[in-house]
Amino acid sequence: MFINSESELRSLYGHAAGRAKDKQLPALEKHSINFIHHSPFMLLSTVNKSGQLDCSPRGGVAGFVHIHNERRILIPDAKGNNRLDSLVNILDTEQAGCLFLIPGVDETLRVNGQARLSQDPSFLDVFKNEDKPPKTCIVLDIDEVFLHCAKALMRSKLWSEESKIERSSFPTMGRMINDQLRIDGEVETQEEMIRRYMKDI
């Protein structure tokens, strides 16, 4: 049995009320600005016109996302593997959603809006002092911004030492991809992969 309408859904959950409903803002303010300044990691969600979705991790030093003003942020596109899933989706629909995280903080920050790609020097200049300046950046004009409560990260104990696993107990990226693609042959070790990645970040 599936739920097929919002009315059915609301009959189970009801409606948001009070601060949960009112916290949605049209622009950044001092606390959301402070959150982005302290965030070294975010998730970027995009969709194309066919409804195909993508969610991509983005990271850098804390504050790597630049606040242009209270209605616009600039997300540098760091060197990757050239799949460009997020960027192609942005070209298609000009929409993106962001979830900002800060290590040690269970609350998160959600920022959604209209997205475009730019190689305009006036935007890219803010990233010129990075070791590897981006070729482009995502210009996100904000539609809504709001804090998300701590419950999910509290349940997962994401930042606690007890939640961490020993990396050597988990398959390497090379092992997993080789198995998925049914490729035989020697697999790159975790240490070799890290050394290779360190040249590009």
List domains and CATH numbers for the chain.
14-156 (2.30.110.10), 165-198 (no CATH)
Task: Check residues 50 and 201 and name the one with the higher pLDDT.
Answer: 50
**pLDDT digit string, tens, across residues 14-23:** 999 999 999 9
Q: What percent of the chain has pLDDT over 90?
A: 94
**DSSP single-letter state for residue 7:** H
**pLDDT digit string, tens, across residues 63-87:** 999 999 999 999 999 988 999 999 9
**DSSP single-letter state for residue 25:** B
Which of 149, 159, 137 shows the shortest CA–CA distance to 67?
Answer: 137
Phi then psi for residue 98, to 5 deg, are -125, 140
Distances (CA, A) of 17 to 20, 23, 133: 6, 10, 44
Distances (CA, A) of 131 to 16, 61, 75, 127, 162: 45, 12, 16, 9, 34
**pLDDT digit string, tens, across residues 105-150:** 999 999 999 999 999 999 999 999 998 999 999 999 999 999 999 9
**Torsion sign across C-alpha atoms 106, 44, 198, 60:** negative
Can you point out the beta strands (E) in the chain? Answer: 41-47, 53-59, 66-69, 72-76, 95-101, 108-118, 137-148
Tokens 């999910």, located at residue: 152
